[in-house]
Structures are given as C-alpha cells and as structure tokens.
Amino acid sequence: MVDLSSRYLGMALKNPLVASASPLSRELDTARHLEDAGAAALVMYSLWEEDLLAEERQFDRFMHHQALGHGEASSFLPPQPGFQSSLDQYLEQLQSLKAHLEIPVIASLNGVSEEGWVGYGRDLQDAGADALEINIYYVAADAEETAADVERRYLDVLAHLENAVSIPVSVKLSPQFSSPLHFTRHLYQAGADAVVIFNRFYQSDIDLETLSVEPQLQLSDPYESLLRVRWAAILRGALDIDIAVTGGFHRVEDVIKALLVGANAVQLCSVLLKQGPGVIADILQSLTQWMADKEYEAVTQMQGSLSHRNAADPAAFERESYRAVLDSFTPPPGVRY
Ligand SMILES: Cc1cc2nc3c(=O)[nH]c(=O)nc-3n(C[C@H](O)[C@H](O)[C@H](O)COP(=O)(O)O)c2cc1C
C-alpha cells in the first residue's frame, strides 16, 4: 500500500494536495466536496487589507467624528443592526469550516502594508485556523523603491504577524525577486514556516477599441508549473523551510514533478475551478498508480530526490542548460531562417 502522507506547516497531511485560496471555500458544501474528493487541507479565500482598513476608517468616523453635540453620547450608540464586517463574515465562515471539516483549514490574509491589519491574524487564530497564509501581492512600480525596500516590506509584514500569532505561518511569494533563495532564507530566519511559490500576477490587457487598460483573469496553464518546480528544487536543495507550490498544477505529472523536487504540498486552484473538486480524487488515484509502478512506497521517499542538491545534473536547473536548450530548437517544417 502506497503511503501518500506528507508534512506541511507542522501538520500531518493525508496526502500533499491542498485546495488553494479561492472562492471554493466560500460555500461549506463546496468545501465538503473538496474534502470528500481527498483534499488534505484547505486554504480559505483571503481576508483583504483594503476591506479591513476601509471598515476601520468607517468605524472610526462613525464613532468619533459625528456631530452628536455631546461627547458622552457616542458611548450610548447602539451597534448597527444587520451590519457584518468582512472580518466578522470571515471569522464566521472559518468557524463553520472548522466545525464541519476534518482537514486542516489555513486562513489567508492578503495585503501589502505593515499597518495594524496584520494583527487581525490573532482573530483568525482564535477562530480556529490551523495556520495562516499571508499573500503579499505587491507590484513594485515605484522608481524610488529599491529591491531591498521591497524585501523589507515582506519582512516587516511577517514580523508583525509573527508577533500576533503562535500558529504556523506561510508566505505566498511573488516570482519576481532578484535572489529568491537569499530572500527566502531571511523569511525563514524571521520565522516563516513555509513559502508558497508563486503568486500568479494577473495581467492587465489593453482594449484596442476603448484604449483603456483592463485587468483580466485567466486561469493557469500547466506550463506555468515548471517555474515553480525549478524554484522548489533550488530552495529544497538549500533550506529546510516547508514549500508549497501553486500555479499551473493541473495534472498528475505536474504534481509528481513538484514532489520529486521536494515540495511538501501542491496547491490546486485553476484545475478545481475548471473541472470541479472531483479531479482531486483522479489525481490521487493516478499518483498512487505511478508510485506503485515506480516502486515508491511513500511520498516522503520521493520528496526532494530530484532537488537541486540531489539531481544527477543540477546544472539543468541553472544557466548551463540555457544555451543547450536554445541550440536544441529546430524550426517547424517549411519555416526557414
Ligand atoms: C478566482 C480566483 C480567486 C483567487 N482568490 C485568491 C485569494 O483570495 N487569495 C489568494 O492568496 N490567492 C487567490 N487566488 C490565487 C490562487 O490561490 C492560486 O495561487 C493561483 O490561482 C495559482 O494557482 P492555479 O494555477 O492552480 O490557479 C485566486 C485565484 C483565482 C483564479
């Protein structure tokens, strides 16, 4: 019998497949389908900094800047009937998921500044989150901001969160760092228990009719997983931090590659949105079959066997393969240059 179990964020997972942050965690029924299909853990959709800060400001205006005429009267203000903040809604959904699912639930915070919103991580912990994933979706578009400033931003957010909570924390990273390995080491030293590689940056497109810039959401393609596989290999070869991959993992082949290079968990999103939760069961079945065919007894045996440190040809993950790959290109029939 093949053992699919893995460890991630200090938790024993029954297998390495995790449902990534997405709207699929908004409905309890859908979350149950994910669990029934075999998801080993669930990352909730994110709680957004923008919402938290906007509600804080609104509350502040309501409490302190009304023309009530009498200062003391503000303390008699009744709570707004029917008003539920995004934090309240999130905590309610988190508690419901925790009450009805057996798999670990990872709450997700999404933002870029180190303001007090990060402290809400404590509320998520108190509501039962097994771990926290923090997504710092940041597009560095300021000419005054150095690469070191951008890294400092991540580290500051992480430090605030680490102050607020005691549960494991993972950081969902952008692929756009000059030295991802060096930076991940800093995150690790600052207390991150895992990195989630990588955020997909949704591309803005230009509408040629209206000449306006329009953000667009396209689900991923399996080809995108290779960037993650390469960096998981390099990180696993050098650091002990847990690694989850996200971005382009649709098929069992993609999952196997991630495990071979050392991923602790493989997060699925686009494939679930396209094919529904049932695809998890298919991938797990194919993974079990592949492992049996290759005589692997456990996922832990596979994990890292092809990392940068262990690969027979580590250079294949680096520049040395670059020329060889370019030179290997042959034009399609009929195309001459
Ligand atoms: C519709 C949609 C909603 C998403 N919502 C979130 C979110 O709330 N927080 C987050 O960190 N990532 C979110 N993501 C990103 C996914 O968690 C995942 O990292 C990304 O889609 C790459 O994985 P994939 O190639 O399997 O889709 C969302 C993605 C999609 C497509």
Position 31 scores a pLDDT of 98
All structural domains of the chain with their residue ranges: 6-61+87-203+216-327
Residue of the CA atom closest to atom 15 of ligand 1: 21
The mean pLDDT value of the chain amounts to 90
**Cα-to-centroid distance, 272 and ligand 1 (Å):** 11
Percent of the chain with pLDDT over 70: 92
Taken as a whole, the chain contains a residue count of 337
Position 59 scores a pLDDT of 67
**Cα–Cα distance, 24 to 102 (Å, whole number):** 17
pLDDT per residue as tens digits for the range 13-30? 999 999 999 999 999 999
pLDDT per residue as tens digits for the range 72-87? 554 555 556 667 889 9
Provide the phi-psi class of 137: left if phi over 0, else alpha when psi is between -120 and 50, else beta: beta
Residue of the CA atom closest to atom 1 of ligand 1: 22
Please determine, looking at this structure, whether the domain spanning 6-61+87-203+216-327 carries the CATH number 3.30.530.20: no
| Probe target for ligand 1 pocket from 269, 273, 280, with the most ligand atoms within 8 Å of CB | 269
Position 240 scores a pLDDT of 93
Average pLDDT for 24-41: 98
Position 4 scores a pLDDT of 98
Residues 203, 205, 210: CA angle, nearest 5 degrees: 155
**Cα-to-centroid distance, 173 and ligand 1 (Å):** 13
Q: What is the 3-state secondary structure (H, E, C) of 249-317?
A: CCCHHHHHHHHHHCCCEEEECHHHHHHCCCHHHHHHHHHHHHHHHCCCCEHHHHCCCCCCCCCCCHHHH
pLDDT per residue as tens digits for the range 206-226? 999 999 998 888 999 999 999
**Cα-to-centroid distance, 108 and ligand 1 (Å):** 11
The pLDDT confidence band at residue 320, using thresholds 50, 70 and 90, is low
Position 311 scores a pLDDT of 80
Residues with CB under 6 A from ligand 1: 20-23, 45-46, 108, 110, 135, 172, 200, 219-220, 246-249, 268-270, 273
**Cα-to-centroid distance, 60 and ligand 1 (Å):** 32
